[in-house]
Amino acid sequence: MVGTTDDIILQTQGLTKDFKGFTAVSEVDLAVRRGSIHALIGPNGAGKTTCFNLLTKFLIPTRGTITYKGEDITRVKPADIARRGLVRSFQISAVFPHLTVLENVRIALQRKRGDSFDFWNSEHVLKELDGEAARLVEAVGLAEFSRHQAVELSYGRKRALEIATTLALDPEMMLLDEPMAGMGHEDVDRIAELIRRVSADRTILMVEHNLSVVASLSDRITVLARGKVLAEGDYATVSKDPRVIEAYIGAGHG
C-alpha cells in the first residue's frame, strides 16, 4: 500500500498501450504521492517514454485509467490537464531562442492568464508581468542573464529557463522528461539542486537516466522493464533488487 487515497495525486490502473501488435506498456499501476519526487526509470526499451507520453496525454491508452486529484483524465487533452495544474516541462514550455530570458518567462505568464499575447495591453499590465517574470528568473538562478537572448545560454541554463517557464504556469505537479539529458557535470548539479528547490511545494514525476541524480533526488522510484513494473520503492531498495540488476545488465548497462 503506497498511501491513502488523499495522499495520491496521480494514479494509473492497468495502463496499457499497444502499437500494431506490440505492447509497449502493459498493465502499469502507478501511484504518485503528493509532495514527493517520484522517478520513472528502466533500461533502454523499458517503455518509460511511452508511459510518460500516456501520463502527459500525448498518447491515448489502449486500456487502463489515469486519475489526477481523484478525477479520471484518461481522455483529457494535454492543454486541459495543464490548466488543471499538471504540466509537462520541456514539451509544453517551449523556449523562444531570440527572445530574452525575461521575455520567455513573460510569455509563459501570459499563457497562464489565458491570453496568447498581450501586445495590445497597456504598458502597466506588461510591467506587472515583468515583475513576476523577474522573480521567477531569479528563482531559477538566471537573474544575471535576464536580458540575454535564450540562444546565448548554455545548455544547462536553457533547461533552467524551461523550468522557469513551467513554473510560470503555476503547476501543482511537474512532469520532467529527462531533465539531465546531454548535460555536463556542473550543469547536472545545478539543475538537480534547482529541482530539489522547486519541489518544496509541489509534486514532481521525472523520467531520468542519470541514476546518481535519481538516487539523490527521489523519494520513490518505479522501475519499468519490457513495459511492465519490475520493482518499486526507495533507491536503496530497488538498486539491490536482483531483478533490477539483471534488467540493467541484460540491456547493456553497467
Residue 186 is predicted with a pLDDT of 84
What are the residue ranges spanned by the domains of the chain?
1-92+172-254, 94-168
pLDDT exceeds 50 at position 189: yes
Percent of the chain past pLDDT 70, that is, above it, reads: 88
d(CA 180, CA 238): 21
pLDDT of residue 83 exceeding 60, the answer is yes
- pLDDT digit string (tens) for 92-128? 446 888 999 999 999 888 876 665 555 555 556 667 7
Question: Does 31 score more than 80 pLDDT?
Answer: yes
Give how far Cα 226 sits from Cα of 27, 41, 43, 46, 250, Å: 11, 12, 9, 5, 12
Distance CA 125, CA 123 (A): 5
Q: What is the pLDDT of residue 92?
A: 41
Pairing of strands 86-89, 71-72: unpaired
- Predicted confidence band of residue 91 (pLDDT cuts 50, 70, 90): very low
13 pLDDT tier (thresholds 50, 70, 90): very high
Question: What is the mean pLDDT of the segment spanning 243-251?
Answer: 82
Q: Which fold has domain 1-92+172-254?
A: Rossmann fold (3.40.50)
**Quick one: what percent of the chain has pLDDT higher than 90?**
57
Query: What is the residue-averaged pLDDT of the chain?
Result: 87
A 10 A CB-CB count for 28 gives 24
In the structure, what pLDDT confidence band is assigned to residue 6 with cuts at 50, 70 and 90? confident
- What is d(CA 189, CA 187) in angstroms, rounded to the nearest whole number? 5
Q: Is the pLDDT of residue 237 over 90?
A: yes
Q: Which cell numbers hold the place of 197?
A: 528547490
Q: Which residues contact 165 (CB under 8 A, 6 or more apart)?
A: 93, 94, 95, 104, 105, 107, 108
Least confidently predicted of 74-88, 109-123, 200-214: 109-123
Structure-model confidence comparison of residues 215 and 248, the more confident one: 215
Q: pLDDT tens-digit profile of 118-155?
A: 555 555 666 778 889 999 999 999 999 999 999 999 88
Q: What is the pLDDT of residue 214?
A: 94
Q: How confident is the model at residue 254 (pLDDT cuts 50, 70, 90)?
A: very low
Q: Is the pLDDT of residue 62 over 60?
A: yes
Note the pLDDT of residue 172: 95
Kindly report, residue by residue over 160-187, the tens digit of the pLDDT: 999 899 888 889 999 998 888 888 888 8
Whether the predicted pLDDT of 39 surpasses 90: yes
